[in-house]
Amino acid sequence: MTIDFKDLEWPLALAAGARSPSPAVRERLMARVRADEPAVPDGFVFSFAENDVWHPHPVPGIRMRVLSMNRENGYATLLLDVAPGTRFPSHHHTGAEECYVISGSVYSYGRRMGPGDFLHADGGTDHSELWTDEGAKVLLVVPPEDYMPDHPRK
């Protein structure tokens, strides 16, 4: 049985006399509903867009979502949301960087990268400035220390 939790909010409000239940009551009800979901085996972690947190990036105009932080294997998987007109300064890659453009466009070394385009940079390389005129969503796989040195997520 699949339940969309958003569909439960209105019936819960009606049951509470046309007002929302208290946070404690709502959490107990939602925990019962979640108990009916299939178990997730060890080693799997879901990250749903509706529940995840966007972090500010040191470069103005960029926010990022940490999808995975794997310090043991030396990589972090990040989703960047880059505002139109943002310029990412020249930087050094301490390790390999994988960049996949999901939407919008990014310019690197005079080449326009659009949705579906991919760029790999070896560790130890220097990257010139990148920029976007229209904004972009970009999936990055990078060494964790390059972006999130203190982020606790595994």
Residue pLDDT, tens place only, 40-53: 888 888 888 888 78
86 occurs within a structural domain: yes
Question: pLDDT: is 87 or 52 the higher one?
Answer: 87
Residues 59 and 94 in one domain: yes
Residues 31 and 82 in one domain: no
- Cβ–Cβ < 8 Å for 111, 105: no
pLDDT tens for 61-81 read 999 999 998 888 889 999 999
For residue 33, pLDDT over 90 is answered with no
Report the CATH number that the domain containing residue 99 is assigned in CATH.
Answer: 2.60.120.10
The predicted model scores a pTM of 0.70
What number of other Cβ atoms are within 10 A of residue 107's Cβ?
16
**Can you give 16-74 as a three-state secondary structure string?**
CCCCCCCHHHHHHHHHHHHHCCCCCCCCCCCCCCCCCCCEECCCCCEEEEEEEEECCCC
Give the dihedral sign, CA 91/142/78/103. Answer: positive
What is the domain range of residue 22? 5-35
